[in-house]
Amino acid sequence: MADSPVCNMNFYWYTRFVFGFYHEFQTSKPVRWLAKCYCCLICASISFFYLYLPSDAFYTKKFLFLVSTEYFMYILISFLNTNKHLLQYYKKTSLIDASASTYRQMRLCLVGYLCIMFFIRLLGFIKVLILREEYNLQQIYFSFIDFIMWLVVLIGRSPLLFVFALLYTRVRLMRQTLENNDFDCRIQGKNHPRRYIQMYEAIIDRLEANNETVKLQVTNTH
């Protein structure tokens, strides 16, 4: 199918949705409205959680306000573009994307990265629970906040990772194609130099089409 993605991204969309980042799933309009309400509720709950935390030496009010603002901006971006730019960017292009297996390793790396980072932070929180006799109630509370805070910011920033992971994979694929094939200027076929120029232009065009979202993400990150 021309509109199918280069790899299955459902795991990513559902993970983001759980933490309040809106994605327009292919479903009925009432369900989409419920999904929007859910995302608004999660965003309001987490933001309220941050802003009304008692501050300490590390979690100052200013720091908590900045983190909640960053999270809110990522939620707002997800409502404004509903991931359509990233979906468009990940659509297969016959000129570039020859086989679905080409992107299997990239998908495994991305999913693996998110899972590993999640479990690293989860283990830190579990350690505090196991050794709770060495921590007071407030320290356990702040450890949980640190886990949630770190996780939502990581997921909020992740679209940039997905954009540049696919860019790297496509450029590497083009380089490997160049290395494995000799130029043949006599025949207008797959080894003609013009085809490689067209491949490069297609890669850059896809990136530029996603440029506004990338700029928003980068601006919010900084």
Handedness of CA 27, 31, 36, 41 (dihedral sign): negative
Determine the pLDDT at residue 183. Answer: 58
Asked if residue 41 is part of any domain, the answer here is yes
Asked if residue 120 is part of any domain, the answer here is yes
24 sits in the region (left: phi over 0; alpha: psi -120 to 50; else beta) called beta
Q: 137-180 vs 193-209: helix axis angle to the nearest 10? A: 160
Higher pLDDT pick, 119 / 180: 119
Q: What is the pTM of this model?
A: 0.79
Asked if residue 35 is part of any domain, the answer here is yes
User: Nearest CA to 200 among 169, 171, 168?
Assistant: 171
Determine the pLDDT at residue 116. Answer: 92
Assess whether pLDDT exceeds 60 at residue 2.
no
Asked if residue 115 is part of any domain, the answer here is yes
Burial per residue of 164-178, b for 16 or more beta-carbon CB atoms within 10 angstroms, e otherwise: ebbbebbeebbeebe
Asked if residue 1 is part of any domain, the answer here is no
In this prediction, residues 123-131 reach a mean pLDDT of 82
| pLDDT tens for each residue of 157-215 | 888 888 888 888 888 887 777 777 665 555 555 666 677 777 778 788 877 777 776 77
Q: What angle do CA 57, 61, 63 make, to 5 degrees?
A: 80
Number of domains making up the chain = 1
Range of the domain at 133: 10-221
Burial per residue of 193-215, b for 16 or more beta-carbon CB atoms within 10 angstroms, e otherwise: eebbeebeebbeebbeebeebbe
Assess whether pLDDT exceeds 60 at residue 20.
yes
Q: What angle do CA 5, 7, 13 make, to 5 degrees?
A: 85
Asked if residue 94 is part of any domain, the answer here is yes
pLDDT band at residue 1 under the 50/70/90 scheme: very low
How crowded is residue 185: how many other Cβ atoms within 10 Å of its Cβ? 9
What is the token pair recorded at 117?
A: 């980072």
Rounded Cα gap, residues 109 and 74, in angstroms: 23
In this prediction, residues 58-83 reach a mean pLDDT of 81
pLDDT band at residue 68 under the 50/70/90 scheme: confident
Determine the pLDDT at residue 3. Answer: 67
User: Nearest CA to 23 among 80, 65, 64?
Assistant: 80
| Residue tagged 């570039």 (tokens) | 96
| pLDDT tens for each residue of 141-162 | 777 877 888 888 889 888 888 8
- Percentage of the chain exceeding pLDDT 90: 8
Assess whether pLDDT exceeds 60 at residue 218.
yes
How crowded is residue 107: how many other Cβ atoms within 10 Å of its Cβ? 21
pLDDT band at residue 222 under the 50/70/90 scheme: low
- List, in order, residues 6 or more apart from 64 with CB less than 8 Å away: 50, 51, 53, 55
Asked if residue 3 is part of any domain, the answer here is no
Asked if residue 5 is part of any domain, the answer here is no
What is the average pLDDT score of the chain? 80
